[in-house]
Structure 1
Amino acid sequence: MHSSLALGLVSMLASVVSSQGITKVSDFTAGPTKLGMYVYVPKTLAKPAPILLAIHHCQGSAQGYSTETHYQPLADKYGFVIIYPNSRSSGGCFDVSSTASLTHDGGGDSQTMANMVKYVIQKYNGDANRTYVTGTSSGAMMTNVMVGAYPDMFQAGSVYSGVPDGCFFVQGATATQDPPGWSNQCANGQLTKTAEQWGDLTRSYYPGYTGPRPRMQIWHGTADNTLHYPNYQETLKQWSNVLGVSDPKTAANTPQSGYTQTIYGDGTSTTAKLVGYSAAGVGHTVPVHESADMAFFGLSS
């Protein structure tokens, strides 16, 4: 971390502790679950500043995900704040299995992350109208959960090798158990529903909400043996119903060789409500495509 950035952060927020290029926010106590909160704040922020919530995978950490992915140079370029939640579980996974986490303001990890976004909006003059979420594996599952439970908070999400919102529900799972609940049926790609059934499930997590829904970008590898490939189509079915889009159009070798792009409804890869990328021969997980995320979120325009 550059000393000028560190000094600027210390003067802005004395309770922040430096760690591997990102900073730990020690005065974030909103909870309700005990996730760690780390942020990356570039020297020059847009006013108000867009926000990216970037969620790590199992066996991962906020610090690790901040270096595995390459969002920080883009934050420097476009002036947005990055939030890196840190799992409280021994295996580094997030809770996407309990009713608490799946439900709007239900008391699980999802509510804690929503409170992190609210914290950044207040502390760093964050832009509530330009807030985005992305994640890999467990973080991808949580990305779908965040978009499903907090559609009023996010404008778009990008999901790397996850499962549909609600797919990982485990009866009796609690928000505080360690490790979080695990659904073999979902992980193995054996849980299938109609598009309307998946859509109804997502809508049930925030009953009464009738506002706009975030645009979604979905990435999955055909050789994924952890969260198996059928979850890709199930996720696309879900969001096509939630977003009310159909008529999928495919393009081979896009955005690179071996990837097949699918755009639902009107628009392009950067403006459509739902875009999918199937990566032939790619296992768990699809490499993060940071520039594509920026374009889809509208941060690079």
Structure 2
Amino acid sequence: MKTNLHQNILEATRLTRAGRINEATSMLQGLLGGQTSSASSPGHAPEADTVRLPPRTERAKKSGGGSDQSDPLHAASLGSMKDTLGRWMKQMKSGQGMPDLGGLSSLDGLTGRSPASPSDIAPDKGQYLSKSFSNQAGTRGFKLYVPSGYQGQALPLVVMLHGCTQSPDDFAAGTRMNMLAEEQDCFVIYPEQATSANHSKCWNWFNAADQNRDQGEPSLIAGITRQVMGEYSIDPQRVYVAGLSAGGAAAAIMGATYPDLYAAIGVHSGLACGAARDLPSALTAMRQGGSAVAPMCQFSHGQGKTVIPTIVFHGDSDKTVHPRNGDQVLAASVDAFDKDLLIMTEQGSAPGGHAYSRTTHADSNGTIIFEQWAVHGAGHAWSGGSPSGSYTDPRGPDATREMLRFFLATRKT
């Protein structure tokens, strides 16, 4: 078995050096996840040149103070990937176990819990519905929360994009967004990534094919948003999108590609649009920050740049997605604003929890356009979330309440 593994790694290296990255990635998925890429399911359009993150694998056991975070993912280019594969092989031979190559599927947080109860997911007062949407890019299911206060009046809408390995129910329970939406009279959508598109249910933020308007996953998420806007009375000036990790990166893409649809974006522990264009650059971005923002990610629609109000949350002890990525998300948004901004930073702490630094960027009228929360000592988990859901840090501050506050103060002009 070791011989076959060694031969397969050498073959993956050869394919990588030859520039055949899709084939190499498919082979690595088989090696590291015990399976190969699955074919598209019936009714799901195949995606050309799609690179998918391998499925989540068992974390390496800690030994002598070491851990699986010792950097098996530092592939800065195709040329350096051979050395990375060599390190993976040495790690496996040394008995440390398989390296954690799930990328954004390896979120820090609580796992192994029982599924959340219905009362953890949504209030009994409102409706929590299962729906689906299809277009040329495929089909995605989604959950929709309709607040009890809805009587046909135009209400705000928040689209929530889950992280890897999560489900809409899990994400709803962890963020408690439905509970706050009931208080504030908001609709909430939870699109669900399909395992046929990514084995770990990650949104494919690192695929060039899934970073463009009216193509791939952005077209599906936008289509879901528009479908709900057509079925219910939604205020078109108050439609927002937020997400965690891979979902946060997808939210950044949605803001860049559909600034005419979304009034603001929220990115928690995610990456900027264009931070990566394939698997090697994705792994690099996660470890040290992304590359320069790609031209199609300049928040443009029609003529000129469009300003997308943005709120960012990121733990400064995040070992899965480097905190520098949060800075880059904000920088990409601020870059589109060509007027002077008043920047202020305040220090605080959640009751009995994490300290934080909150930086606001306000225009000449005092309106906050951009906001960034650095949560000190926090890892890769939803800040202030409920332990009923996975990958949450209940020690706060409350990212859900702060994002919703930021969103509801923002209207699309």
Relative to the length of structure 2, the TM-score reads 0.59
Q: Tell me, yes or no, if structure 1 residue 187 matches structure 2 residue 286.
A: yes
1:272 to 347, 364, 368: 368
Q: 1:71 Cα shift?
A: 1.2
Which one is further off, 242-251 or 111-120? 242-251
Q: 1:232 Cα shift?
A: 2.0
Distance in 1, matches of 2:169 and 2:307, equals 30
Give structure 1 stretches of 5+ with no counterpart.
10-21, 174-180
Distance in 2, matches of 1:63 and 1:182, equals 31
1:262 to 348, 359, 364: 359
Distance in 2, matches of 1:229 and 1:268, equals 30
2:238 maps to 130
Distance in 1, matches of 2:349 and 2:138, equals 40
1:56 to 153, 162, 172: 162
Greater C-alpha Rg: 2
Distance in 2, matches of 1:219 and 1:23, equals 28
- 2:379 maps to amino acid: G
2:179 to 61, 70, 73: 73
SS at match of 1:243: coil
Q: 1:264 Cα shift?
A: 2.0
RMSD between superposed Cα atoms in Å = 3.0
SS at match of 2:403: helix
- 1:213 maps to amino acid: V
Give structure 2 stretches of 5+ with no counterpart.
1-117, 386-398
Distance in 1, matches of 2:223 and 2:252, equals 17
Q: Tell me, yes or no, if structure 1 residue 158 matches structure 2 residue 252.
A: no
Q: 1:293 Cα shift?
A: 1.4
Which one is further off, 74-83 or 275-284? 74-83
Distance in 2, matches of 1:209 and 1:215, equals 18
The question of whether the paired residues in 2 share the 8 Å contact of 1:42 and 1:80 is answered with: yes
Q: 1:243 Cα shift?
A: 2.9
Could you say if the C-alpha distance between residues 56 and 31 of structure 1 is closer, same or farther in structure 2, counting changes exceeding 3 Å? farther
The question of whether the paired residues in 2 share the 8 Å contact of 1:215 and 1:274 is answered with: yes
SS at match of 1:96: coil
Q: Deviations over 1:164-207 (max 9, x none)?
A: 1110221xx8xxxxxxx8711111124344xxxx384522x756
Q: 1:43 Cα shift?
A: 2.0
Could you say if the C-alpha distance between residues 101 and 241 of structure 1 is closer, same or farther in structure 2, counting changes exceeding 3 Å? same
Distance in 2, matches of 1:210 and 1:158, equals 23
Could you say if the C-alpha distance between residues 166 and 255 of structure 1 is closer, same or farther in structure 2, counting changes exceeding 3 Å? farther
SS at match of 2:199: coil
Distance in 1, matches of 2:202 and 2:180, equals 26
Which one is further off, 90-99 or 247-256? 247-256
Distance in 2, matches of 1:254 and 1:264, equals 20
Distance in 2, matches of 1:281 and 1:8, equals 36
Could you say if the C-alpha distance between residues 121 and 207 of structure 1 is closer, same or farther in structure 2, counting changes exceeding 3 Å? closer
Relative to the length of structure 1, the TM-score reads 0.80
**Where do 1:248-259 residues align within 5 Å?**
248-253=343-348, 258-259=355-356
Q: Deviations over 1:231-253 (max 9, x none)?
A: 12222221110233655321112
Could you say if the C-alpha distance between residues 83 and 236 of structure 1 is closer, same or farther in structure 2, counting changes exceeding 3 Å? same
1:15 maps to none
Could you say if the C-alpha distance between residues 235 and 211 of structure 1 is closer, same or farther in structure 2, counting changes exceeding 3 Å? closer
Q: Deviations over 1:205-258 (max 9, x none)?
A: 756343743210011111111111111222222111023365532111267752
Q: Deviations over 1:57-80 (max 9, x none)?
A: 001111211111111122222222
The question of whether the paired residues in 1 share the 8 Å contact of 2:306 and 2:336 is answered with: no
Could you say if the C-alpha distance between residues 286 and 65 of structure 1 is closer, same or farther in structure 2, counting changes exceeding 3 Å? closer
Distance in 2, matches of 1:249 and 1:233, equals 15
Q: Deviations over 1:271-291 (max 9, x none)?
A: 411111111111112415221
Distance in 2, matches of 1:129 and 1:153, equals 8
Which one is further off, 285-294 or 75-84? 285-294
Q: 1:44 Cα shift?
A: 2.0
- 1:253 maps to amino acid: G
Could you say if the C-alpha distance between residues 209 and 146 of structure 1 is closer, same or farther in structure 2, counting changes exceeding 3 Å? farther
Q: 1:113 Cα shift?
A: 0.6
Q: Deviations over 1:3-33 (max 9, x none)?
A: xx99996xxxxxxxxxxxx32114x323523
1:86 to 182, 189, 192: 192
2:141 maps to 36
Distance in 1, matches of 2:378 and 2:126, equals 41
Aligned length: 270
SS at match of 2:288: coil
Distance in 2, matches of 1:250 and 1:91, equals 37
Q: Deviations over 1:90-112 (max 9, x none)?
A: 2010011223321111x211110
**Where do 1:8-27 residues align within 5 Å?**
22-26=128-132
2:69 maps to none
SS at match of 1:264: strand
1:233 maps to 327
Distance in 2, matches of 1:199 and 1:251, equals 32
